[in-house]
Amino acid sequence: MSQTARVVQPQLSAVTKFLSRANDGCCAGDSQVSSNRDERPDQSAAGHANVGQRDSGGPDAPGQADGSQEQLAEKDVAIGTVYLVGAGPGSPDLLTLAGLRALQRADVVLYDGLIDPRLLHQAPQAAHVCVGKHGKTPIWTQEDINRRLIEEAQSGRTVVRLKGGDPAVFGRTAEELEALVSAGIPFRVVPGVTAGLAAASYCGIPITHRDHASAVALVTGHQSDSNARDNPLDWHALARFPGTLVVYMGVTTAGEWSKHLIAAGKPATTPVAIVRRCTWPDQKTIRCTLGQVGEVLAPHRRFRPPAVIIVGEVAGEDQR
């Protein structure tokens, strides 16, 4: 064994053992949630768990809105911190260690209905508040969520806003950050594994390829009315894009965006991979072409979200 190997191998072993312990802790427990509460958006912040330990600064200290220190001095109130945490695409294994630590210090967790409920077992000390799941519980408005984040933090609680995937990718994080900054609430954004990249990896698709894709574009299949009016997608630019398109929230609008791409010059024979519930045990993948997407995802097919759709030559690859 070389001198380098003798030095590096023990260090790698220690790191491997640490990550293994963290991973085992993340996946502990069954899939049933022992949620502290199931609340509606109009309930007040009063009566929640006592304030847990706050951050003590340093490299992991949360972001601070301008002027919030002065506001704290004026109000003489211990403002809590809000963590916007990416839960990853599904599997609890893909939660980051930073995300795990945030959950362990939380007093309140406001979570999306699509996250794996086993993640909530990492915050048994916290109140668990679901902000809605399609077809099962009422969906909170973004204004309701923003208001609740601010109320909890102003009451001195550490709040985790647990989002599927990565908070910065089609997660409406910008709106939450604007609200927190306006209210002078300290915050930190914890990145997560975004579904588009995880779906490619779990399907054996190389999202980039030296021969087929030198770039990747993350595209929404569902623009807001105002954004579609003021900043419509440039379908001709996307059709000419020299790489892979990954379409989020594109199941119900598949017939529309696929026709736009074809009309703009994207070949109808372009390979497509549709991945539903990526990284979950019931992950499902359908391979087709761009010209077939509208029919494959037509309403009568009952192919339900969540799903991401990979469009490009790499979708014809399978390197598993």
Q: Considering 130, 161, 193, which residue would you say is the last residue of a domain?
A: 193
CATH number for 167: 3.40.1010.10
Q: Does 94 fall in a domain?
A: yes
Give the range with max mean pLDDT: 5-9, 36-40, 211-215, 258-262. 258-262
| Residue 228: predicted pLDDT | 67
Q: Are residues 221 and 80 in the same domain?
A: no
Give, for 286, the enclosing helix (H) or strand (E).
strand 284-289
Q: Are residues 205 and 142 in the same domain?
A: no
* pLDDT tens by residue, 221-241: 987 776 667 678 999 999 999
Q: Does 272 fall in a domain?
A: yes
- CB-based burial, 177-209: b 16+ in 10 Å, e otherwise: bebbbebbbbbbbbbbbbbbbbbbbbbebbbeb
Q: Are residues 101 and 232 in the same domain?
A: no
Rounded Cα distance between 24 and 201, Å, is 22
Q: Are residues 188 and 84 in the same domain?
A: yes
∠ CA 103-54-37 to the nearest 5 degrees? 45
Q: Are residues 204 and 174 in the same domain?
A: no
Length in residues, the chain: 320
**Helix, strand or coil, per DSSP, at residue 54:** coil
Give, for 98, the enclosing helix (H) or strand (E).
helix 97-104
CATH number for 225: 3.30.950.10
- Of 115-124, 155-164, 235-244, 300-309, least confident by mean pLDDT is 300-309
Q: At residue 15, what is the residue type?
A: V
316 secondary structure, DSSP code: G
Q: Are residues 244 and 149 in the same domain?
A: no
Rounded Cα distance between 209 and 244, Å, is 9
Number of independent structural domains in the chain: 2
Count Cβ atoms below 10 Å from residue 139 Cβ, excluding itself.
14
| Residue 33: predicted pLDDT | 38
Q: Does 18 fall in a domain?
A: no
Contact 195, 165 (CB under 8 A): yes
| Residue 304: predicted pLDDT | 87
Q: Are residues 186 and 41 in the same domain?
A: yes
Catalytic center residues: 112, 133
* pLDDT tens by residue, 70-104: 444 445 669 999 999 999 999 999 999 999 999 99
Q: Does 133 fall in a domain?
A: yes
Q: Which of 121, 279, 273 is nearest to 192 (CA)?
A: 279
Count Cβ atoms below 10 Å from residue 53 Cβ, excluding itself.
9
Q: Are residues 146 and 243 in the same domain?
A: no
Q: Are residues 133 and 40 in the same domain?
A: yes
Q: Are residues 158 and 273 in the same domain?
A: no
Q: Does 203 fall in a domain?
A: yes
**Helix, strand or coil, per DSSP, at residue 177:** helix
Half-sphere exposure of 138 (CA within 13 A, CB side): 11
Q: Considering all CA atoms of the chain, what is the largest pairwise distance in Å, rounded to the nearest integer?
A: 65
Q: Are residues 234 and 202 in the same domain?
A: yes
Q: Considering 161, 176, 193, which residue would you say is the last residue of a domain?
A: 193
Q: Which of 44, 56, 64 is nearest to 127 (CA)?
A: 44
Rounded Cα distance between 116 and 98, Å, is 17
Q: Are residues 126 and 272 in the same domain?
A: no
**Is it the case that residue 203 has pLDDT exceeding 50?**
yes
Q: Considering 174, 193, 212, which residue would you say is the last residue of a domain?
A: 193
Residue span of the structural domain in which 167 resides = 29-193
Rounded Cα distance between 187 and 61, Å, is 9
